[in-house]
Amino acid sequence: MKLTPEQLKEFDALGYLVFPDCFSEEEIAVLRSEAEAIYASNRKEVWRETSGAPRTAFAAHTYNEAFAILGSHPRLIEPLEQFFGEPVYMHQFKINAKAAFEGEVWQWHQDYGTWKRDDGMPEPRAMNISVFLDEVMPINGPLMFIPRSHQQGTLTAGHDKATTSYPLWTLDKATVTKLVDDGGIVAPTGKPGTVLMFHGNLAHASPPNITPYPRKIVYLTLCAVSNHITKFNRPEWIAHRDFTPIVPRADDALLQYARKARHAA
């Protein structure tokens, strides 16, 4: 997948892009059922809400074939190779559950704030590109972005270890209010298969999910290889230390896998 000049311009201005219908339902269905199986397992990579519901599963591309394919899918890898002008490696891979009724808040933060402080990543030359596994609606805990906030650089943040089970460098209320005064808030929604890419300094959050509708999203954090991390404070399955450039697979790799899986079932 190649970004157009218009898309690059929009990204520069707003800090994010939305790609509807990037993956087909046939491709997504297999990921959705594999994600449920991972959440039901007892792996250390599966973090839970205080209620016990799944919150996020790390590093599934290292132990699950369907997510391994997604982790080197050309529709996700190529736009970021293009944007950074060099090969990328996988800094982090997670499947966020935002479980029905149980999914808790992700506080306001910039991703690069954590990658810099915790992992010693030199520059914000890494980015999330995410894939909706369920329909994301206004009501089931969508991501909220503050457009244009990526232009502010890396802002002062506090290390919040208390609000949820996952420690995060978060922005305070005065900072968020100022950013929102300037940029507003958008909450991109869409069918399963929608893809979002957003700048490492784009301020974002997501509210709890109080509905019966689950809202699973896969996040690939792709980092320019020359910008690899320099501190190894977090477990390697949270902040990877394998800086090998990802070689994109064939565009139909996930589709072929889904068909094989269906025939085997």
Residue 185 binds to a copy of itself (criterion: CB under 8 A):
yes
Residue 8 binds to a copy of itself (criterion: CB under 8 A):
no
What are residue 88's phi and psi, to 5 degrees? -125, 155
Q: Which residues, numbered 101-160, are part of the site for a copy of itself (CB under 8 A)?
A: 101, 105, 107-108, 138-139, 141, 144
Residue 29 binds to a copy of itself (criterion: CB under 8 A):
no
Tokens of 195: 């893809």
Residue 165 binds to a copy of itself (criterion: CB under 8 A):
no
Q: How far is the CB of 7 from a copy of itself (least distance, A)?
A: 25
Q: How far is the CB of 21 from a copy of itself (least distance, A)?
A: 22
For residues 196 to 215, the per-residue mask of contacts with a copy of itself, x marking binding by CB under 8 A and - elsewhere, is ---------x-xxxxxxx--
Residue showing tokens 């949820």:
164
243 Cβ contact list (under 8 Å, min separation 6): 89, 225, 228
C-alpha span between 113 and 172 (Å, rounded): 13
Q: How far is the CB of 174 from a copy of itself (least distance, A)?
A: 9
Q: Which residue number, 37 or 210, has a Cβ lying nearer to a copy of itself?
A: 210
Binding site residues, a copy of itself, CB under 8 A: 100-101, 105, 107-108, 138-139, 141, 144, 173, 176-177, 180-181, 185, 187, 205, 207-213
